[in-house]
Structure 1
Amino acid sequence: MKKLLLIALVTVFGISHVNAQDIQFGGKLGINFATINGDNTGTLDPITSLVNFGVVAEMPINEKFAFLPELMYSIQGFSVGDDVVALNYLNLPLMGKYYISKGFSVEAGPQIGFLLSAKDEDIDVKDNFKTVDFGANLGIGYKLDSGLNFGARYNLGLSNINDVEGASDSFRNGVFQVTVGYMF
């Protein structure tokens, strides 16, 4: 966890020379395909959620590199048969972005997520999950000159989110996201 925070701080302070006039702001929304990975998760099925939205800033460092902090609301979780467990997170991805060619980019970076709520149907199960989640993201994107952009990303959960007292199973989030956005 300390290494992840150190990387985030170095990234933020490393872009301090960015010209404020070059920063673009925008929003994006998308679809999540989420599941839980780890011990004894063979009976868990993925869920599809139409809720993944938030705000983004793109801070160019040079022609090829940019820093991309985001603040995203994301419904993640899993299902067992017809029973869906929805984990609602406020995620803060801190992405490095590299433009391979005009408009086309690859992205990678750490993410910290804050669990806002957890529901098993209408039952509050937030106490069964840790309130902070750390992950790593890897993705691709394409941005048109108009500001319209498209992306696909995978979030690999790095921390155990299981907080059931006495349980030894380790659970980690796994989320594939497809998004569309607009930069102003």
Structure 2
Amino acid sequence: MRIYILFFVFLFFQNLYSFAQDAQLGTGRLSFYSDNVLGFKLGLNHSSIKSDTYQFEDITGFHLGGYLNARFNKDMAFLLELMYSLEGGSYQGNTIFHKKIALPLLLKIYFLETVNMQLGPAIELPLPNQEIGISSNLNEAENLTPTVGLSLGLGVDIKEYNLTLRYNVGTSQYYESIDGDLGSKVLQLSIGKNFD
């Protein structure tokens, strides 16, 4: 099932990029700015697991992936990212990793020519073979469920490079069979480069 979801995400990404490249200025129609670019980004995650039951400590992970930045005009853009992310937390000396595919769908609002605010939802698809190790009912990969999060960030675009500081918080829980809330909170620092 996850393969089908990732396939459709890829098709959506490809079609959106084609649409952004082909869009023309017309009366009463949505138009795109000239700066519609694909790029690659990577960075660090400072993450933890938010829980009603357990007290987790923060860990450091990483993320990497691609993005499409489609400018509507000089003040607004739509940012679509497809990323692999390693997140999690630490509980009683045990490091707990969540490996997932994240699809943030963000609105970028430019305050200055290069400085922007980013806001929007993020769909997160957990990858199998997770090693949790808190209790036996958390060890099963099938307990991991797709989640939806909320992302808020600040970015700077300088020529073909961009720097982003973003906070992501999970709005739904990771595990279907766990009492209480087990979500995520992640602070990300990323650097990206547009493809020529």
Which bin holds the TM-score, normalised by the shorter protein? 0.7 to 0.9
1:153 aligns with 2:163: no
1:105 aligns with 2:116: yes
AA aligned to 1:119 is E
How many Å separate the matches in 2 of 1:129 and 1:89? 14
The one-letter code matched in structure 2 to 1:29 is L
Q: 96-105 or 112-121: which moved more?
A: 112-121
The CA distance in 2 between the partners of 1:52 and 1:18, in whole Å, is: 32
Which residue is 2:152 aligned to? 138
Structure 2 counterpart of 1:52: 63
Q: Deviations over 1:64-123 (max 9, x none)?
A: 0000000010011111132111110100000000111011110000010000132247x9
- Deviation of 1:131 (Å): 2.4
One-letter code of the match for 1:130?
L
AA matched with 2:82: L
Residue by residue over 1:42-78, the C-alpha shift from the partner in whole angstroms, topping out at 9 and shown as x without a partner, is 2x111111x2000001000111000000001001111
Gaps of 5+ in 1: 1-11
**Residues 127 and 163, structure 1, Cα contact 8 Å, conserved in 2:** no
> Over aligned residues, Cα RMSD in angstroms?
2.4
| Bigger radius of gyration | 2
Question: In the aligned structure 1, how far is the partner of 2:139 from the partner of 2:54?
Answer: 18
Which of these residues, 82, 88, 91, is aligned with residue 80 of structure 1? 91
SS of 2:141's equivalent?
Answer: helix
TM-score by length of 1: 0.81
Q: Which runs of 5+ in 2 are unaligned?
A: 1-15, 24-29
Question: What CA deviation, in whole Å up to 9, does each residue of 1:119-168 have, x standing for no partner?
Answer: 247x99353743201000000000112x111100011100011233xx31
Q: TM-score, normalised by structure 2?
A: 0.77
Residue correspondences, number? 166
More strand by share: 1
Name the CA distance, whole Å, in 2 between partners of 1:113 and 1:162: 13
Cα distance in 1 between the residues matched to 2:186 and 2:140:
19
Matched, 1:174 2:174: no
Q: Is the 8 A contact 2:82 2:103 kept in 1?
A: yes
Report % sequence identity. Answer: 28
User: Which residue is equivalent to 1:6?
Assistant: none
CA contact (8 A) 1:18 1:59 kept: no
1:110/1:178 CA distance change after superposition, 3 Å: same
